[in-house]
Every structure is written in structure tokens, then in C-alpha cells.
Structure 1
Amino acid sequence: MKKFILCLMLLPALFTSCYKDEGNYDYKELNEITVDTVGVKTSFVIDQYDSLVIEPKINFSLSALPETALSYRWIMYSDAWGKDDTETTELSTERNLNVQITAPASATPYAVRLYITNKNDGSSYEMKYTVTVQPSVVSGILALHQDADGVDFDYIATAGAVMIDKNKHMRNVVSSILDRKLSGNAAAVSAVRVNYTTLINRVYVATDEEFMQLSGYDFAYECDINELFYDIPSRLQLSKVKREGQTPYCTILVNDGSVYNINNQASQKWSNTFSDPLRPSSDLGERIVVSPYYYIPDANFPMASAIFYDELGKRFVRLPKTFYETEEIVSFDPQVSTAFDVNNVGKDLIWLGKGYNNHAFAVMTDGSSRELYRADFNKAETIYDEDGSPEYNEELNDLALRIYDLTSLTDIEKAKFYDLGLYATQLMYATDRDIYVVSISGSNVRCEKINRDFPEGEEITALMIWNPDMNIMRSLETTRGKYLYVATWNGEEGKIYEFKIARNTGRMDNDIPDEFGKVDAAAPVNVFDGMGKITDLCIKLQGKDNFDN
């Protein structure tokens, strides 16, 4: 009886359900959207900062819809376990994707999704692509340039110098990271890296208004002037930042005649902040004004972390090897050399660099003459006797080696840019239009012009020989000293010429045949254009944590 009553109660509900199912619906076949994947790449491997290009072939189950009836959305997110598309980067709303990928390089692939929506009925389709981003910043050069919009730098790596498959040219790195250029007048671009820790791998870019640190691994922004100084200097006249040698513990910077450093024997390796200005010792007087050009020794446990030229006292001074952050700048021990006295040079410094045998070479003048002063600052502070006991290195009293008279060399009074060869006693200098190499043998000094004339209206604005530090990149020894980079400006566009040179002579040495099979030793290997006025060049060594990469 109970079962019979229950069936009667359910009967109206059954009739009601059947009624809803028999409603008067207008059934239409859906015009489904799909993306054709037959024979089409869905996985990509690209370098960071390269453009990702995907042109999907869209199919419809019925008839093709006009573009006005469709909307697109491209997004990107990490495809790691536990990640989903809730944390995304918007890439584009165009049908075809063509965007620069700035996401960090990662062993974990990224997912790139395309959403296609039919505006007429609201139906949608999604397609997933897999993208692996690998580091694009290998060894190369950085070129600081300026135009009406501000200051930026380009990164260039060439197949010849860096031994890669093809050239890389990353334009306007600062703009790609910050969506703006730096303000002010261009000052310097520098790269600092050591092998014993991955924490010190930095790029510095400076103007007279801004000072910024980027990652040497992928150019990601790290910090600005507010973190780089304890007290921001009232005036910015920033030099290159350097950190070199077999035992590099100090990162050195000169600003407006004062020395600043980061001493990682006194501070943590991850410290970004430069010390307060280093004071002179009492024997140097109350004030020194150091040149923006300085020398860092390469010796193991050298007598100094860096050597500077005091423009006020017209003498060389040094920052001792120290465990203290704010060690004083001091003089050298009394000298016995007859060539000259490093404690009392008495000339104005034009330029200072490191050359053959790791010697310091300084271009000096008294206002009319030009001389090349040579000294061996690459001395160990302590030597050991036969019993292994430490003793004072008496060579520290005899640092000056020689003076070469350059006054009679062609156009030397017009020289604006200098660099040094490392495989012979060899100085290179450039005027607005011409490049000369100086060969030195004993007291014999001669020069020769090595370049063919640049196009009419172009003037040289920077010059640098490819001399990567072997303490960092021993694998580049085969190309070291064999390439010359020259920047020019024609009033509208900055260019960089890459020339191949003989590292023992400095002469042009392009041995690559052109399209007709002809070899022209003076022809550039590469020309990179489209930049603002280039004011500084530096070598950037690859941002990995092993010795040879």
C-alpha cells in the first residue's frame, strides 16, 4: 500500500519533467573554432629578449568568420607544477603573435595560451603552446648611446669574437627593462663579474643624473642610486666601475675625483652599496683629485687593490690591499728608479690603461708634449724566501720602467681615444677620423694609420680592443686581441664597426672572403647601426657560474 501511494506522488513530477524536455527550442549547429596543429610547431625554444612569433591557422567547422567577429587574447605564465593561468602576463590581442619575450630564462617551460572568442555567440576556443626561454646574454660588448629621448645601451655579441653561431644585437636594453631611457648626459657603462661567487655579476650604467645596477645574467633591474650610495654625491661625474685580477675583492668607482669601493673582505658579497669617499693619508695632504682612469693589478695578492693618478699632486697613488671598507689612499714607498718617480711625475694624465705584460701605460703631457709612461704596478706585496718565510718585496721600490716620446707621431695632438694591445708593446689611438697603431721596440717608436676612411660625415666617438679578462673567460683566449670595435656618429645615427686585427701588430687582418671570394684585410667584419651617439664601450663577460662560459 505504501509503495502504491509513493508511486502516485511521483507521477506529477514525471509528467512535469517530460514537459520541459519537450520545449520549443531552436537548435543550431555551432560554428566551432579550432587551430590547426598538423605539421605546425607548438613548442618553441627562444633566447630571452628575442621575439616570439606565432601565426595560428584558424579553422571553422561551418564557414569562416570575418576578423571583425573574432577577438584574441594571448597570455603567458610559468608551466611549473602547481602553477596555472591565474598569474599571467598579457602578451597581445592581435591574431598573430609577434612580441619580445622578457620573462627570465628558466629550465621550466612557460605556457603561452591563445584564447579566440566568437563575438556573435560568445563561444570560445583556447590553444596552448610551450615556450622554453634560455639566456641570451653571452659574452659581448655594451655600447652606451644617447639621443633626444635619453640614454640607453645596446648589447652586441658576434660570431667571431664570442664564437657563437650567429650575431646577437639587443637594442635599447634599458628601455626594454624599464619602458624608459635614462635622463641626463651619458657617462659610462661597465660590467663586473668574478668567478668565485655568482652573486657578483653586474652591469652598471651611469649618466650625470642617474646611476643604475642591472643583472649581468639577463639585464634585469636590480637597484638604483639610492641603494648604490650611503649618501648620494651632490655631483655625478661617474667613471667606469672595475673589478679585475686573480684575487678580486674590491669593486672600484671614481666619482668627481673621489674613490669609492665595495670591499667584499669587509662587506657581504651581496652588498650593492659603495663606501663613502676614501680619504687620503696624511702624507698625501688634505686633498687629492683622482683621474677617472685607473689601473687594477693582476698579481696574486698584489700590493694594491687599485692604482690612481692624483691630478692635483701629479703623482700616482694607491689603495692598499685591505680588509677594511674605508682604507685610506696612500703613496708608494720611496723609489729608486731612474726612469721617473711614481710619487712625483709632474705631468698631466691624458689616459691610463693596462697593456703588454700587465704593465701600466699612461699618456702624459706638459701641455705641448706627449709621452707614454710605463710602470710595473703588478707586484706582489710579499714574497717568500727559500724556507717559505715571508719577506718584503724590494721590487716595490723600483716601479717605473720607461718613458717613450710620442710627440712626433702623426696627429698625436689630435688623439681622443686610446687602447692597448696585450700581445706586444703596442698603443692604439684615434682622432675624429683616423686610427693609428704605435709599435714600440726598445727606444724606437713609430706609428701607422690602419683604417680606410670612414663614410663622409662620420666621426669616431669610441674605440676598444677586444681584450676579455682571462681570469674570467679563459675560453676566449683564441679571439682575445683579434677584434677592434670603433663607434662613429654622423649627426643622425651611431654605428659600431667590428674589425679583425692581428693581435701582435694591431694591423687590420680581415681574412674572411666577401660574396665574390675576395679578401679585404681593411674591411669591417660587421657593422651595427641604428643607435644614438655612442659615448662609451665595455666588454661584458657571460653571466654563468662556471669558469669558461
Structure 2
Amino acid sequence: MKLIYQSLAACCMLLISSCYKDHGNYTYDAPEEITITGIAGSYDKVSLVDRLTIDPQVSSSDPKAEFTYWWGIYETNVQGSAPKVDTIGRTKALDYLVTQPAKGWVLVFGAKNMHTGLSRIVTAGVNVITQFTRGWYVMKDDGGHTDVDLFLTPSGIAPASKVENVFSMVNNRKLDGEARLFGFYTNYKSNVTGTLANTRSLFILSDKDASVVNINTFKEIHGLSGLFYETPSVKKPGSISEASQANYFVNNGHLHSIYSMSANVGLFGGKQLRDDNNSPYSLSKYFLAYSFWNPFFFDELSSSFVSATGTGSVLSAVSDDSGTEMPANRNNKELLFMGVKSTNPYTGVALFRDKTDPALKILSIITPSNFTLKMENDTLAPTDKLGAAERFGLIVADENILYFSAGGEVWSRNLSNGAEQLQFTVPAGEKITFIRHRKYSGSTTAEQPFYYNYMLIGTTANGNYKVRAFSKTSGNLAASPVFTMEGKGSVGDVIYIAPPMSNTTYPNSY
């Protein structure tokens, strides 16, 4: 019986299917394609100066297409919330004055076909800068006050124009004292944007004053009195540096720090003690520091090296590493110069003068390891030009050479074999005030016109300065500078700033 029912069901299904006719239409239109061209992948614009002027081409495979358009912009790297898109236009062509603060942004363009409802969106990066975010900064003084000149480099590393006294122009004051040292950091904390966050900051140090400015606007974040939880009674800046994930400030020979890897308000703490007995100390302005290693300073009172941590309240003792040729503690020496030679491996160079016998001068190669030092010594001969050195310029990471000035001459000393060679003689009447090696090579093709590797030599004469930028080959300076920057005053330091630069672009050093 069951078999009979199954047979009847099968016959019914066949009957139904034989009566069904397919009236479907299987002709489909090709999907619409919207094409947008004429928008570049990225744009570099100066805030409050440049405009985004773009007229893209929009087409569709739909012959009846009618489009509406919109433009928007939003900030990148937003943390803790979704990025907010600001609408800046509703026409196909965009002509928009860039007003956003200097940082990375994303430009958005949308086209919608009203006939089909289909939309197409494209994006482009916008790197917003200001006139202060790219160029050569020259710190100079007139003998009593310090200011900064900016040499603009819109299309290449050679300056195209100059803005004088940008610090006083923006902040309505000059720094007291003579120009000394720049320090550029991207992890310094401030609330310049309304929220406490990392700020691209430039420290400006004279021998009597200091300031930290927001590099996007060059407005002062703090003066020397406002840089500390407790206003220092003596204003005598020595150095600014970064090492072991902290910022270090030497004022009046005492060390202050900010641990940059934790929340902070950009203020340096109280002075670190020399030891548990609070022994007196006075640190030299020279130092060894690199972001990921321990810093090293030299106590001029005890002729001893010390180190530090960003979270400590007491300076760290330094001991001798195996094979050292000079003790790190109580070596009876005066430090004439010290600087970073290489960050990988972490090494430095120092020049000492004996306190008992001032004619005895020793050049040392220093290799730090945790809180120990190994020093390999080269005792200078009385005929060595380095013994009469006044200014120093250590080549970082390239050739194993130390540049120095003696009178109106610039010499090089090969640190491998001690050979000395005259490199440059300044014109009569000029006095050398500054020597430094600066090097920049980024990681993006767009930055290649701004790459450089120069020895910078600053001179002054009759109240005016010159900074000559020399290229070098195998450590020897070219016969003539690539370019020369000129202005009023005497030069203390020079630094080149560009948007991609970070804390590690330039090793901290005099």
C-alpha cells in the first residue's frame, strides 16, 4: 500500500512540472561603474597659507547619470573615539583654504549617482604643515640676548628665504644670555591642543635662560621658570637630553628629569641627589645620551661619571668596565668635551685635561654598558693641534673623525690613527663660534630633496654671523660650502626640522 501512495505522489509531481511554463527574463544589465580621476594620493599644505584646489573628473557607465558631490576631511591617529568627518564642500570642484593644525589628515571625496543611488568614495592624505615645520633654525645671540632665525626650504635643502627673530616675533621676548643648545623631541607632553598629549617641541637653551616651543606654531609652551615643578633659584641651563625613555635637564649643575613613558604634564621634577648623603655635585654641560640607553654625565666637583634613571631621585653610580684605561670615579680630570660618536654601538668621545698637570690632555673613546664605562685613552703629544682646540664637531655614525677649531682654522683628527689635517681656514676677521655634524636621511621618497649630510661651521664678524654647510668625502671637507646662511649675531647651534623627523633623527650631543 505504501508503494502505491509513493507512486501516485511521483506522478503528481511530474504532472505539475509538465504544466509549468517559465516566463522569466534572464537578461541582466552590467553593474554600474563610477570612475573618479584627478585626485592625487597625497598633498602637502601649509596651514592658513595654502589651498586645496582640486577639480576631479567623474564618469559613469550609466548614460543617465546625474551626480551630487561632497568633500570632507578628518584627522588620522584618533584614539579612544571614531574620527569625525568635517564637510568642507558640496561641489565637484574644491577650493578650500587649509585651516587645520599641522598633522596628518585624510581628505574624502564622494560622488553619488541620483539615478541609480550608487556612490563612489576616494580618499587622499593631507600632510598639514606650517612655515615653522620645515627649515633650518639658527640660534644666535647679540652677546646679551638669544633669538632664532628660520631659513625656509620649500623645495630643497638649500635655503630659499629667511625669517629673522622668529622666537621674539611670536613670543614678544628674547631669551637672556648667549646661545647654546637646541633639543628636538616629539614625546614631550603639553596641552597646546587642549588635550595633554605628545607635542613636537623644540628646546632652546642659552647660558642664562631656556624655552620650549611648539614647533607647529613656535609659540612658547614654557619658559625656564615654568619648566619645573619648583622654580629654580638660579637660571643656568647646561643641557637638555633624552635617554632611557626620559628627558633630562641640567640646570646649575643639577639634574632634573621627566619619565616620558608615563603620564606627565611636561614639568621636570626636583633635582636628583648625588647620593644618599646628598653630597654636593656639579654636572658638566657635556653628556652622553641616546634614547634607548642610560645617560652619562660628568661631575666636575669629584671628577666622576654618574648616570641616572627617569624615575629615580638619586643619581646612579658608575663603575669601571673590564679593560678600562681610566677610572670612571675620581680620575682627577677636567672634561673639555664629550659627545656621542655612534648609537649602534653606543660609543662616545671625550677630551680630558689633568687637574694636577694641565699640560696633560687625554682623548678617550668611551664604551658604555649599563652603568659601567670602558675608556681607551690616547695621550696627546705637545705638538698635536687638538691640544689647542676651542670648538668641537664630532662626526656621528660616519667616518671615525673629530673636527675641531684652533684659532681661525678647522682641523680634523682621525680617531683611528691620530692623524690631523687642516680642513678649512676662515677669512680674516671672522671668529669660529660653532661646529657641528648634522645628517638627515628619511624613509620616504618625497623627502629625498631634503636629505643632507653636512659639517656646519659658524663664524661671526662685526656683529654678523655666517653658517657654512660643507659636504664631505671620506671625512674631508669640500673646498667650498654647498650654501651659506647669514644673519645678525653669533651662532650657538643649528638644526634642520622637517615633518617626518622624530626623537632619534639627531643624537643628543653638543
With the shorter chain as reference, the TM-score category is 0.5 to 0.7
Aligned to 2:380: 406
- Aligned residue for 1:522? 479
**In the alignment, residue 465 of structure 1 is paired with which amino acid?**
H
Could you say which residue in structure 1 is the equivalent of 2:456? 485
Q: Determine the C-alpha separation between the residues in 2 that align with 1:361 and 1:522.
A: 27
Tell me, yes or no, if the aligned pair for 2:178 and 2:492 is still in contact at 8 Å: no
The 3 A distance-change label for structure 1 pair 102 and 419 is: farther
Q: Is 1:369 matched with 2:344?
A: no
2:392 corresponds in structure 1 to 418
Mapped partners of 2:171, 2:393: distance in 1: 33
* Cα distance in 1 between the residues matched to 2:220 and 2:212: 7
The answer for the alignment partner of 1:463 in structure 2 is: 435
Structure 2 counterpart of 1:280, from 263, 274, 284: 274
Displacement of 1:317 = 1.0
* Larger relative strand fraction: 2
- In the TM superposition, residue 331 of structure 1 has moved relative to its aligned partner by 1.4
Match of 2:347 in 1: 359
Tell me the SS of whatever aligns to 2:170.
helix
| 1:352 Cα offset (Å) | 0.6
Name the amino acid aligned to 2:418: V
CA shift in 2, pair 1:547/1:256, >3 Å: closer
Determine if the alignment matches structure 1 residue 327 to structure 2 residue 284. no
- Which residue of 186, 190, 200 maps to 2:183? 190
User: Is this contact kept in 1: 2:466–2:485, CA < 8 A?
Assistant: yes
Using the alignment, how far apart are the partners of 2:158 and 2:180 within structure 1? 33
Equivalent of residue 339 in structure 1, options 314, 317, 325: 325
SS at match of 2:365: strand
Q: Does 1:506 align with 2:475?
A: yes
How far apart are 1:309 and its partner, in Å? 0.6
Matched-pair contact (CA < 8 Å) for 1:157–1:169: yes
CA shift in 2, pair 1:479/1:264, >3 Å? same
C-alpha distance in 1 between matches for 2:485 and 2:198: 32
- Do the aligned partners of 1:217 and 1:544 also contact (CA within 8 Å) in 2? no
Task: Supply the distance in 2 between the matched residues of 1:546 and 1:376 (Cα, whole angstroms).
Answer: 22
Match of 1:143 among 138, 143, 147: 138
Q: Contact (CA 8 Å) 1:374, 1:401: kept in 2 or not?
A: yes
Which residue of 2 is the match for residue 153 of structure 1? Answer: 148
Distance in 2, Cα, partners of 1:103 & 1:532: 35
Partner of 2:249: 253
- Distance in 1 of aligned mates of 2:449 and 2:335: 33
Is residue 188–residue 238 contact of structure 1 (8 Å, CA) maintained in 2? no
Q: How does 1:166-315 map to 2 (within 5 A)?
A: 167=160, 169-194=162-187, 199-244=198-243, 249-265=245-261, 267-268=262-263, 271-282=265-276, 286-297=279-290, 300=292, 302=293, 304=294, 306-315=295-304
Shift of 1:535: 2.4
* 1:461 maps to amino acid: T
The structural deviation recorded for 1:178 is 1.9
Contact 1:409/1:446 (8 A) holds in 2: no
Q: Following TM superposition, by how much is the alpha carbon of 1:338 offset from its aligned partner in structure 2, in angstroms?
A: 4.3
Residue 163 of structure 1, CA deviation: 5.4
- Does structure 2 retain, via aligned residues, the 8 Å contact 1:201–1:543? no
Letter in 1 for 2:259: N
Residues 449 and 261 of structure 1: is their aligned pair in 2 closer, same or farther, counting only changes over 3 Å? Answer: same
Partner of 1:448: 421
Q: Residues of 1 paired with 2:212 and 2:451: CA distance?
A: 27
Identity within the alignment, %: 19
The alpha-carbon deviation at position 194 of structure 1 amounts to 4.5
C-alpha displacement of 1:537: 3.1
Matched, 1:437 2:412: yes
* Cα distance in structure 2, aligned partners of 1:144 and 1:156: 11
Q: 2:240 is matched by which residue type in structure 1? A: V
How far the C-alpha of 1:507 sits from its partner, in A, is 0.6
Structure 1 contact 143–189 (Cα < 8 Å) conserved: no
Would the alpha carbon gap of residues 187 and 256 (structure 1) be closer, same or farther in structure 2, given more than 3 Å must change?
same
- Answer yes or no: is the 8 Å Cα contact 2:151–2:163 preserved in 1: yes
Check conservation: 2:45, 2:129, Cα contact below 8 A.
yes
CA positional deviation for 1:327: 2.7
Asked if structure 2 preserves the Cα contact closer than 8 Å seen for 1:189 and 1:203, the reply is yes
Is contact 2:188–2:201 with CA below 8 Å preserved after alignment?
no
3-state secondary structure, aligned to 2:231:
coil
CA separation in 2, counterparts of 1:533 and 1:133? 33
Structure 2 unaligned residues grouped into runs of 5+: 1-43, 52-85, 89-97, 108-126, 190-195, 506-510
Q: Note closer, same or farther for the CA distance 1:173–1:294 as it changes in structure 2 (3 Å cut).
A: same
Task: Say whether the 8 Å CA contact 1:138–1:157 is kept in structure 2.
Answer: no
Q: Give the whole-Å Cα distance in 2 for the aligned partners of 1:405 and 1:474.
A: 41
Root-mean-square deviation (CA), in Å? 4.1
AA of the residue aligned to 1:433: G
How big is the shift at 1:534?
1.4
Question: Is 2:340–2:349's contact at 8 Å kept on the other side of the alignment?
Answer: yes
Between 148-157 and 453-462, the greater mean CA deviation after superposition: 148-157
TM-score scaled by structure 1? 0.61
